[in-house]
Amino acid sequence: MLRLDGYELNAEKALAVILKREKVALESDAEKKVQKNREYLEGKLNGEETIYGINTGFGHLSQVSISPSETGQLQKNLLLSHAAGFGPELNEETVRGVLLLRANALSRGNSGVRPKVIHLLLELLNREIHPVIPEKGSVGASGDLAPLAHMSLALIGEGEVNYKGRKVSAGKALKEEGLEPLDLKGKEGLALINGTQVMAAIGLLALWQSRNLLRQADAIASLSWEGLCGLGDAYDPLVHQVRPHPCQQLVARNMCMLVEGSENYNTEREDKVQDAYSLRCIPQVHGASREAVEHLGNILSREINSVTDNPLIFSGSDRVISGGNFHGQPLALPLDYAAMAMAEVGNIAERRVERLVNPALSGLPPFLIEKSGLNSGYMVAQYTAASLVSENKVLAGPASIDSIPTSANQEDHVSMGTIAARKLAQIVENLSGILAVEALCSAQAIDLTGAQRLGRGSGIVYDFIRERIPYLEEDRYLAPEIKKMAEMLKKAKLLEKLEEAGCSLE
């Protein structure tokens, strides 16, 4: 069981909860700290001090005083009014991530909630009661207000949840599980919805998929290199020692390992002295994208152990401080950076697809099919890759450079970080399709060239593809095969195959 304290959560632990359903509890010392800060805040509430969001309205309404008898209703009204999202639901894995990350942030104690608030969040997670959260509506500044309000409704028995394979009211699910809805106290509604946990959860899952696809992109590229009889000098360590970007060097090592032992390896050929960039510059392009994704990983590692609501409670210093930790800019920028990086991996992969299907560039039958003309082969599979690449180019436009003031201009600069996260997730999804097309085309090229012995790793890639997708002798229905291969890549099955064979990629 994972025990939350607000400090020690990392991507690996989070994914075990999100994907593998590991159970979670609040760590005992963390619970004591949460209780201590709550008692301190309640002492403040019994006095006459004005504290934002506790005995005042919110945003532009912060000058409106709220009587002590209305503070509980204020928090309930906050959730009801702010649950104004729109669009499709966040998927189950993302919702689990949101629940986990919000509970972890509250576990630091600086949010001023009672321990029972965190316990109920974890009960939802452990009992797989997943709030229905529309994916659109956050501007990523005063936290992910709308989507987190939808999450929080379930705690008070309002809204809908996905439970035991069906959509039911939150109140019904809580009752079936013998759980009592919360009667919110001062600050608790605000503490639940002020935070960056929606963009962080989407980003965390996209990070995991990106890391898996980046390594598989190296593997598939090695098979394209074999099918196009590429030159190997571009991966020589000497080349990369003099431009010492760590991830560029890492990809070059991967490529050397993958094509090791290949009888298609050439250091020189009469017909060319160097390859096109989509083969020759794999370490530089894939490596640069890895750098961007690892930057996002570093930021997320800090963010998922951060306190991101407002105001913050510091009982040891006798302070209640209004600040801006809810602002999503620290995530919005690296999410956009990663989105551009992953779009580029698809961009260069599609260019390798074009080289494979174009007889003027490959020397192979047109569109990788014998009896072309009667058969179209992989012609339109390349169209699909091109379409996905074009869509990714649009999606890669940064969301973080936009800002639309909200709350009567009180919140006059916003991050749009949740939009950046959703765009990254879609780009990664599209990339799985692009790489699936490259995988099918590269295996077909190997068969058509009658290639000699393949490399140590590229041979495993070829076998992985052919165990699932047969040689294309004549035209057949391709969409299911592209989808099947994309699903295998999303589940990192190619990585598993390589690891089983002792060819683990960095």
Distance between CA atoms of residues 413 and 400, nearest Å: 11
Distance between CA atoms of residues 213 and 205, nearest Å: 12
CA distances from 337 to 288, 396, 424 (A): 11, 8, 9
Distance between CA atoms of residues 64 and 323, nearest Å: 19
- Residue 243 CB coordination number (10 Å): 11
Distance between CA atoms of residues 212 and 201, nearest Å: 17
277 is catalytic: no
User: Which 3 state secondary structure label does DSSP give 278?
Assistant: helix
Which two structure tokens, joined as six digits, stand for 288?
């640069």
Distance between CA atoms of residues 102 and 19, nearest Å: 17
Catalytic residue among 52, 235, 378, 471: 52
Which two structure tokens, joined as six digits, stand for 423?
């765009």
Distance between CA atoms of residues 114 and 32, nearest Å: 10
- Residue 500 CB coordination number (10 Å): 10
Distance between CA atoms of residues 11 and 261, nearest Å: 36
Backbone angles phi, psi at 458, to 5 degrees: -65, -30
Residue type present at position 349:
A
CA atoms within 13 A on the CB side of 135: 17
Q: Hey, what's the torsion of the CAs at 323, 325, 330, 336, to 10 degrees?
A: -110
Shortest CA distance to 87 belongs to which of 133, 131, 132, 136? 136
Shortest CA distance to 30 belongs to which of 53, 3, 10? 3
User: Which 3 state secondary structure label does DSSP give 406?
Assistant: strand
CA atoms within 13 A on the CB side of 501: 19
Catalytic residue numbers, as ranges: 52
